[in-house]
């Protein structure tokens, strides 16, 4: 019998002789295989690859229109090199030259006509197991790569971005302590800088803590009913100082009657990061606007700025933890880690929505995200 874990595997049989197809189909079905597709026309194999997506192909070599060699050359041109698609060649030609050519074309193994059904069972089992183990290894490799990228990002933020605010606070307090005449205006300016630096450090630390909870699965979604404008006003109160320092106008154009059933804390984290990001990359005397549109099944929120814009190559990397994107300084030298946008993406995903960006260099940026109307 075919291994029980392999019975759902998709097997494609290609042979111009219907008698051979019937023998193979009946035997595989008797062994418990549940997804078998057959064709006696080799010209249909490429389309079947797309429609049926086989896990294994039993392929005759000698056929009209296209030989098995021709079919394998076609498959080699369209199947990614990283995808293992086992092809068991069915042939009465057991010469060394025929085998060599079949292997060069992409054959994984051979079955000699007339078939030994016990051998058929063993080879089908073996190559399906290899295929699924290979897919499992690729999945683990991708997960491991993401974990390594996450670790690298985490330590990069701790080693550089989180360290900077404390160095800044230390240096500015030293300047104040060295002021001999205690000029009030100078001290006030230094305190404003310290306050701004502390705010940046606190925001980064909050993002790190929320992100670490998200990575370990320790963050829960607390659904509640609330007005979207209340969440926006809470965020405006926190970012108003930063906006005022750059003389940036904050505009809220959201109908007062939009009610969400979602996690308000998560939403405010998303809004706060997107608004802070907009202020960071908008020159003084610019404008940052937040809008929202409610439909039957979702609410779409848009945050638009009149800032420096984002190039297309950077846009493709914004929400990816595994990207090697270097954090950019703001229009007044503000530092950043890039973690805020990654956190936005994770939280929007958790809330069942989507997030995307539209931007043009020197013409501003719009971050948009949607949330379900009812969770």
Quickly state the pLDDT bin for 375 (edges 50, 70, 90): very low
Task: Reply yes or no on whether the pLDDT at 9 is more than 50.
Answer: yes
Collect all residues with Cβ–Cβ distance below 8 Å to 373 and sequence separation of at least 6: 261, 294, 295, 296, 297, 298, 299
Asked if the model's pLDDT at residue 221 lies above 90, the reply is no
pLDDT (0 to 100) of residue 175: 72
Of 9-23, 151-165, 324-338, the one with minimum mean pLDDT is 151-165
The structural domains of the chain, ordered by start, are: 4-139 (3.40.50.2300), 162-219 (no CATH), 224-375 (3.30.565.10)
pLDDT one-digit tens code per residue, 155-190 = 665 555 566 667 667 777 777 777 666 667 777 777
Confirm whether pTM is higher than 0.75: no
SS3 state of residue 366:
strand
Query: What integer pLDDT is reported at residue 97 of this predicted model?
Result: 87
Strand blocks (E) in 101-166: 109-112
State the chain's mean pLDDT as an integer.
84
Query: pLDDT per residue over 234-261, tens digit each?
Result: 889 878 888 888 999 999 999 999 999 9
Q: Which tokens go with 332?
A: 């007044």
pLDDT-wise least confident of 38-42, 162-166, 191-195, 264-268 = 162-166
Percent of the chain scored above 90 by pLDDT? 43
Average pLDDT of the residues in 220-236: 90
DSSP secondary structure code for residue 82 in this structure: T
Q: Which residues contact 188 (CB under 8 A, 6 or more apart)?
A: none
> For 37-65, how does the pLDDT look when each residue is reduced to its tens digit (9 = 90+)?
999 999 999 999 999 999 999 999 999 99
pLDDT attached to residue 194:
76
Please name which of 364, 354, 340, 197 lies closest in space to residue 268, comparing C-alpha atoms: 340
Q: How far apart are CA 217 and CA 229, in angstroms?
A: 29
Comparing 111 with 230, the larger pLDDT belongs to 230
- What are the tokens at 364? 């501003």
Alpha helices in 39-85 (DSSP H): 45-52, 68-78
Whether cis (ω within 30° of 0) applies to the bond prior to 114 is yes
Taking 90 as the threshold, does the pLDDT of residue 314 lie above it?
Answer: no
Of 10, 12, 9, 33, nearest to 21 by C-alpha is 12
238 or 366: whose pLDDT is higher?
366
3-state helix, strand, coil in the chain (%, to 5): 50, 20, 30
More confident residue, 29 or 171: 29
Does the pLDDT at position 336 exceed 70? no
């Amino acid at each position: 019998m075919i291994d029980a874990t392999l019975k759902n595997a998709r097997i494609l049989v290609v042979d111009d002789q219907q008698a051979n197809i019937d023998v193979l189909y009946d035997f595989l079905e008797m062994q418990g295989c549940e997804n078998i597709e057959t064709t006696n026309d080799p010209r249909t194999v490429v389309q079947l690859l797309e429609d049926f997506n086989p896990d294994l192909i039993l392929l005759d070599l000698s056929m009209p229109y296209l030989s098995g060699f021709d079919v394998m050359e076609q498959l080699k041109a369209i199947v990614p090199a990283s995808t293992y698609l086992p092809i068991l060649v069915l042939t009465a030609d057991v010469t060394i030259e025929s085998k060599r050519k079949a292997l060069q074309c992409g054959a994984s193994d051979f079955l000699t006509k007339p078939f030994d059904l016990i051998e058929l069972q063993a080879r089908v089992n073996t190559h399906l197991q290899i295929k699924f183990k290979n897919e499992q290894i690729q999945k683990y490799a991708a997960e491991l790569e993401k974990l390594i990228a996450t670790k690298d990002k985490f330590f990069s933020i701790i080693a550089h971005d989180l360290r900077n605010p404390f160095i800044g606070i230390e240096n500015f307090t030293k300047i104040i302590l060295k002021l001999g005449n205690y000029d009030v205006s100078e001290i006030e300016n230094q305190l404003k800088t310290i306050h701004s630096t502390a705010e940046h450090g606190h925001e980064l630390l909050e993002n790190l803590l929320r992100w670490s909870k998200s990575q370990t699965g320790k963050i829960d979604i607390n659904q509640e009913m609330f007005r979207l404008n209340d969440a926006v006003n809470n965020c405006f109160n926190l970012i108003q100082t930063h906006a005022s320092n750059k003389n940036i106008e904050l505009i809220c154009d959201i109908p007062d009657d939009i009610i969400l059933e979602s996690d308000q804390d998560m939403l405010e984290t998303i809004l706060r990061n997107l608004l802070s990001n907009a202020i960071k990359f908008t020159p003084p005397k610019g404008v940052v606007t937040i809008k929202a549109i409610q439909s039957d099944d979702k609410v779409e929120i848009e945050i638009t700025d009149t800032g420096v814009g984002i190039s297309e190559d950077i846009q493709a990397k914004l929400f990816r933890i595994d990207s090697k994107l270097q954090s950019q300084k703001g229009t007044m030298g503000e530092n950043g880690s890039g973690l805020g946008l990654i956190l936005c993406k994770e939280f929007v995903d958790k809330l069942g929505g989507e997030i995307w960006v539209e931007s043009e260099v020197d013409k501003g940026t719009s971050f948009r995200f949607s949330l379900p109307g009812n969770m």
